[in-house]
Structure 1
Amino acid sequence: MPHADDHLHAARPRHDHGWLSPDPLLTKELGIPNACSRCHEDRGLEWNIAQADALFGTKVRARQRARAHAIAAAQTDAAGAAEGLVALLHQEDVPAWRATYLSLLPQTAGASAGREAARLALTASDPLERAAAARFFVGAPDASDLLSPLLKDPVRLVRLDAAWALSAQLPADAPARRELDEYLALTLDQPSGRLRLGQDKANRGDLAGAESEMARAAQWDPFSPAIRDAHGMVLAALGRANEAGTEFRRAAELSGRGGGPSAFRAGLAFAETGQAAEAENAFRLAVQCDPKLHRAWYNLGLLLAQQQRLAEATQALEQAERAAPGEPDYPYALATVCLRAGDSAGARAAAQRVLRLDPTHEGARQVLRALGR
C-alpha cells in the first residue's frame, strides 16, 4: 500500500515505495520524517517548512497532506477518522489509494460510515479495490450475500480474500475452500503461516486447533507482538484467562508505545482471574503507552475502588472522563466513588454531568437522591 512519505530522517529511517516531495510540515504535524531536515537540521523545522513551501508550493502537495492526515487519523482511531477516509475515497482517482482507504476503514470506530462505499467497491474495475472491499465485510451478517460472487472472481487475490471472509461457511469440498487451504499450506514453514492457519481454524470454530497453531507460531517467533496477541485472544476464548493475560502482557511489552490495547486486554484477563496486582500493572502499562485509552483508565479506577483506594480511583476515573467526555459511565463511576469517600460536592457535580449526557440515567438520579438533591 502507498505510504504518506518515503524520505529518511537521521533519527528514524523509513523505507517504502513512495517517491514524494519532502514535506517538513508533516514532520511538525504528524512526526513523518522528511529529507529537508536531514540536510538542513541546523536551520530548524520552521525554516525547512518555509523553504519547502517556497520550492515546491503547497497546492501540489495538498493531496499528499490530506492522505497523510487521513491515514494518521485512522491509525489512531481519532474522531471523524472514518468520515475522512470516506471523503477521500470519493475524491481519489488512484485505485491503490482507494484500496488503502478501504483497508483502513475497519480499524475505525465509525467504520459503518464506509459501508456503502465498500459495497460499491465490490464491483470496482481494479482488483485491489475489490479485495479490500471483501476484507471490509469480514464478519458482516450479510457477508455471504455480498461476497459469494467474488469467490469466482478472475483474480486470485480477490477470490482468496472473499474465501477468507466466508471461511466458516465454505463446505470442505467447495473449490473456494480448497483454494484457500492450498494457499494457507504454502507458508506453514513460517510463523506467520502458522498464525494464519490458526486464525482460520478459530474462524471455523476449532479453538483447540487454533491454539495449537498459534502456540507453535509463538514458539517459532517469540518476539512477534501480533502472534502473542492473537494467541491471547484464542486462550481467552477457551476460558484460559490467566494464560491469555500473560500473552497479552508479553505482546504489550514487545509493542513498545503501541502496546496499549494489548496491555488493556491483559488487565481484563488478570482481573477476571482475581489477580489484582497483575491487573493493575497491566492497566497502568496501557495508559502509559496511550494516555487516551479511556477504557483502561476506567477499569483501573474500578479496580482501585474495589481495593478501597478511593483517592487513586478518583484520579483514574477523572482521567477516563477527560479522555472521553461523552461517556456517561465514567462520571457515574466517579460519582459513586466520591460518594463513598464522603466528597458530596464531587459526587453531586459528577452525577449532574451524567444527567447532562443521559437525562434518563437512573444511577445518577440515585446518587443525587442519596445526597438529598
Structure 2
Amino acid sequence: MSSSRWAWWRLKLRAIVLLLLERRPAAEATFDEMLRHWPDDPYALASLSHLKAQAGRRDEAIADAQRLVQAHPQRSAGDWFNLAFLLETADRLDEAEAAFRRALQLDEKLDRAWYGLGLALIRQQRYDEAVTALKRNTELQPMSPYGWYQLARVHIDRHDPESARKIIRHLQGFEPKVAAQLQRETGLAP
C-alpha cells in the first residue's frame, strides 16, 4: 500500500473513531484535513455533508453535496438522492427535482428517489407527474405505506376520490392504521 493510501486510511479511521466517540467537530476537522490532501475525495465530501446536515447547517451540507456530485457525477445515485433531499428541505424544488431525476438516471430502481421526486412534484402542484412518480415508488416498495399515503393524497388533490378509496381499501389489508388515518383526513369511506 502506498504511503498516500495509508495516510488516507489513517485519516478515515481517525474520523470514524471520533464519530464513535461523538466528537463531531474533531471528526469534521479530520475530513477537512482529508480534503486538503485529496480535494475531491468522495468519502470526505459525503461525510462532511452528512455531518453538517445533522448539525442543522443545511446550506453548508448542500454545498458539500453539490461539490461531491460535480466532482463525481457518475459515482452513486445515492449521492444525487442526498443532494436532492437537502435541496427539497431547503424549498429549492426545481433543483431538487433535477437531482432526484439524475439519481433515477443512475438507478431507476431507487425507490426513495421516486418518492422524493413525487413529494417535490406535489409541492409544485404538478399532480399528474407526482402520480407517475408515486406509482413507481409503490411498485418498487409495495408494502411501504408512505408512497400509498401520498398517492391517495394526490388523488384527493386531483379531485379523484374513487382512486383514493381504492388505496384506502388496499392499505386496510396491510396497514390499517394508515388506512384509518386517510379516512379521517379525507372523510372517505373505503
TM range (shorter): 0.7 to 0.9
Distance 1:359 1:189, change over 3 A: closer
The structure number with the bigger radius of gyration is 1
Q: 1:227 aligns with which of 40, 44, 54?
A: 44
1:89 is matched with: none
Q: Does 1:262 align with 2:106?
A: no
8 Å Cα contact 1:249-1:262 kept in structure 2: no
1:207 is matched with: 24
2:91 is matched with: 274
Task: Determine which structure has the larger helix proportion and give its number.
Answer: 2
8 Å Cα contact 2:88-2:96 kept in structure 1: yes
The 5 Å alignment of 1:354-373 reads: 354-361=171-178, 362-366=180-184, 370-371=187-188, 373=190
Q: Does 1:308 align with 2:125?
A: yes
Greater displacement, 286-295 / 347-356: 347-356
Which amino acid in structure 1 is aligned with residue 181 of structure 2?
Answer: G
Q: 1:251 aligns with which of 68, 75, 85?
A: 68
Higher relative contact order (CA 8 A, sep 6+): 2
Aligned residue for 1:357, secondary structure, equals coil
The 5 Å alignment of 1:145-224 reads: 190-224=7-41
Q: Give the Cα separation in 1 of the matches to 2:98 and 2:49.
A: 17
State how many pairs are aligned: 187
8 Å Cα contact 1:197-1:210 kept in structure 2: yes
8 Å Cα contact 1:351-1:364 kept in structure 2: yes
8 Å Cα contact 1:214-1:227 kept in structure 2: yes
8 Å Cα contact 1:245-1:269 kept in structure 2: yes
8 Å Cα contact 1:252-1:260 kept in structure 2: no
Q: Give the Cα separation in 2 of the matches to 1:255 and 1:353.
A: 41
Aligned residue for 1:205, secondary structure, equals coil
Distance 1:258 1:343, change over 3 A: farther
Q: Does 1:293 align with 2:118?
A: no
Question: What is the alpha-carbon root mean square deviation over aligned residues?
Answer: 2.5
Q: Deviations over 1:90-109 (max 9, x none)?
A: xxxxxxxxxxxxxxxxxxxx
The 5 Å alignment of 1:7-26 reads: none
Q: Deviations over 1:66-124 (max 9, x none)?
A: xxxxxxxxxxxxxxxxxxxxxxxxxxxxxxxxxxxxxxxxxxxxxxxxxxxxxxxxxxx
Which amino acid in structure 2 is aligned with residue 365 of structure 1?
Answer: Q
Gaps of 5+ in 1: 1-185
Q: Give the Cα separation in 2 of the matches to 1:342 and 1:332.
A: 16
Which amino acid in structure 2 is aligned with residue 203 of structure 1?
Answer: L
Tell me the TM-score normalized by structure 2.
Answer: 0.83
Shift of 1:338: 0.9
Aligned residue for 2:132, secondary structure, equals helix
Q: 1:240 aligns with which of 57, 62, 70?
A: 57
Distance 1:327 1:191, change over 3 A: same
